[in-house]
Amino acid sequence: MRPPVLNPLFAALSALPGIGPKLEKLFGHLLVGGDGRPRVVDLLFHLPTGFVDRRNQPKLSEVVPDTVVTVAVTVERHRPPPPNRPRAPYNIDTYDDTNTLMITYFNARRDYLEKLYPEGALRYVSGTATLYDGHLQMLHPDRVVDEAGFATLPLIDPIYPLTEGLHPNQVRKAIDAALDRLPGLPEWQDTAWLKRNDYPSFGDALRVLHRPATPVDIEPGSAAWSRLAYDELLASQLALALLRAHMRTRAGRGSAAEGLLRARIVEALPYALTPSQTRAVADIVADLAQPSRMLRLLQGDVGSGKTVVALLAAAHVIEAGRQAAFMAPTEILARQHFATIAPLAKAAGLRLAILTGRERGRERDDILAALAAGDIDLVVGTHALFQENVAFRDLALAIVDEQHRFGVHQRLALAHKGEAVDLLVLTATPIPRTLVLTYFGDMDISELREKPAGRQKIDTRAVPLDRLAEVIDAVARALDAGRRVYWVCPLVEESESVDLAAAEERYKALQKRFGKTVDLVHGRMRGPDKDRAMERFARGETRLLVATTVIEVGVDVPEASVMVIEHAERFGLAQLHQLRGRIGRGAERSTCILLYKAPLGPTAKARLAVLRETEDGFRIAEEDLKLRGEGDVLGTRQSGEPGFRIARLEFHAKLLGAARDDATLILTRDPKLKSPRGEALRDLLYLFARDEAIRLLDAG
């Protein structure tokens, strides 16, 4: 149950004066993406991104044109447009003792303006002053107040992100009303910590950010913003620590095995394990033997051999007489893992199956029956694996690929498919250290740092789009030499239809030149058609594959040695690195061409430079964080996984370690959050939407 003290903050926005259904809908688009109903707390966490400085209050003769000024003027007369020209401007002549100012409106109501500017009255007017025909003019002032209003006019006026149809004044009014409803909450932070950092209380921090006295107040590094960022980081770390405690305290079941199946798989490999693969397997096997549950993140670059490590982990629990499940975020990746695993599983005598949305009817029923009877050792699939009708005889290990596409609740759902299921999470996007702590603070970490033997360095070049004809000629030479080529089409703001149009256009142009050797694959194709296109390319029936990135080009074709990425400036660093990792897997020297539209902005320029310098995914991930911010690096923008609303890691990462230590200490002293501070921390978890962790607490 949510603590009653929070009810005013969790009330619908329509509880605020002046917010009817129409305005509430607009606020919904702005605050929660239009689906859910916005609440008062959502509005309070909608922080300013800038400000208007109204402290500049010159006489009219001192006004510098094209600056924001607040001036005191007397209204002389109104000059409405003539009746036959309603679109003409409505002018109001005003003056002070040094000069005159014409205030101009378009499409304004006369009765409204006459009420706002009574002739002969003194008005304080704030806005951008310009010169028009040698005279001072102000178009649609931001603020118009009388003497009483001027006494309360904020001199530092926050600017908020808006959505179409919503006026800044409506946002300001609503925020003022929300601040008035802010209840007095018990303090959840350590008093000494607040004092040392000179942090205000939670309520005061919100008031300072929405009603700043100086520009410094609304900088991300200010005491008020840092206080709220630390609150959010602590809520996140506390939720992860509670998840970890929940998973650990539910006793595990150690799986003991001699390692015979593992040895058979290693023997069947065409190469030796790298030192970091060997270390990761040893760590995992040690975890699996423990009576407490394993929670481990295995991160490594494209092609560093995570699938093999995962298979060796599965072999350990299978040898102990139990089952393993391997879950991937898309069908195409699930099928690729299945193809990689199948020959190795066969060599070791493992019974393997695949389960995605495509297995239907009798075939699906047979797989489900075999899983429940224990006749399948390892099942590979998509999130179809954690649907309710999927039952295992004895699931011991859940392997989840590309974890950041799955939320924490899905992490738990798969783990609940058996008794004390161990969890191994894989990611091919090396994640910067700060983000590992932020999103995977409940896990132990293994990193695969080396590439498998025989991997060649990829020659990466950046080429402007106006040299497209030369690039197509180079592709022709590569095809003549028997090589295989990927041509990746641009990502246009995640719009599948536009991506598709771009890909189809490029496909037609290349097909004109290269004929039947060209094929197309995109996200709108049906699964079987997509697979067939991939198979044709893998077998060499087609040798130039045009693809959008809406599908993961996660296909392992060692013969592919050239990749062209069109409009490379539109992609994030990690995504470019992921795509590039699809080549350089065979014996041939590989080339990646980044086609960009000149001129490049500074961020895109830096991105392409990093990519040309290095193939180290861990370094690329750190640079990506610097250039883009945490939400994009983890793909949270696409997956709906909650990023941070207030904390910005480029400013607040240094607070993360303290939040992590604090969360650990809190749970050591008060594991059930029953003390006065513990009860207050429950409020904090609700405020920052981490209350799933409280349900774990209450579930025991």
- State the span(s) of the chain assigned CATH 3.40.50.300: 219-455+655-700, 458-614
pLDDT at 167: 86
pLDDT at residue number 554 = 54
Query: Residue 493 above 60 pLDDT?
Result: no
Q: Does the domain formed by 458-614 have CATH 3.30.420.40?
A: no
Q: What's the pLDDT tens digit per position in 140-155? A: 998 999 999 998 888 8
Q: Is the pLDDT of residue 16 over 80?
A: yes
Sheet with 544-547, strands from edge to edge, namely: 458-464, 590-596, 560-565, 484-488, 544-547, 518-521
pLDDT in tens, 409-439: 565 666 677 778 898 989 877 777 767 777 7
Q: What is the mean pLDDT of residues 240-269?
A: 84
| pLDDT on residue 251 | 62
Quick one: average pLDDT of 202-223?
Answer: 96
Domain 219-455+655-700 CATH superfamily: P-loop containing nucleotide triphosphate hydrolases (3.40.50.300)
Rounded to 10 degrees, the C-alpha dihedral 413/417/418/422 comes to -50
Q: Is the pLDDT of residue 34 over 80?
A: no
Note the pLDDT of residue 495.
55
The CB-based long-range contact list for 13-22 (8 Å cut-off, 24+ gap) reads 13/37, 13/38, 13/39, 13/40, 13/42, 13/43, 13/174, 15/40, 16/40, 16/174, 16/177, 16/178, 16/181, 17/177, 18/173, 18/174, 18/177, 19/174
pLDDT at 314: 97
First to last CA, the chain: 15
CA distance 276 to 264: 20
pLDDT tens figures, 91-100:
999 999 999 9
Burial class (CB in 10 A: 0-12, 13-18, 19+), 361: exposed
- Are residues 550 and 530 in contact, defined by beta-carbon separation less than 8 angstroms? no
Domain(s) of CATH 2.40.50.140: residues in the chain: 55-153
Q: Please tell me the pTM assigned to this model.
A: 0.67
Alpha-carbon span 304 to 656, nearest angstrom = 29
H-state helical runs in 211-330: 223-249, 260-268, 275-289, 306-319
Share of the chain above pLDDT 70, in %: 90
Q: Which one of 2.30.140.10, 3.40.630.30, 2.40.50.140, 3.40.50.300 gives the CATH number of domain 55-153? A: 2.40.50.140
Which band of pLDDT confidence, cut at 50, 70 and 90, is reported for residue 227? Answer: very high
On whether the CB atoms of residues 238 and 230 are closer than 8 A, the answer is no
Residue 81 has pLDDT above 80, yes or no: yes
Q: Give per-residue pLDDT as tens, 339-384.
A: 989 999 999 999 999 999 888 899 999 999 999 999 999 999 988 8
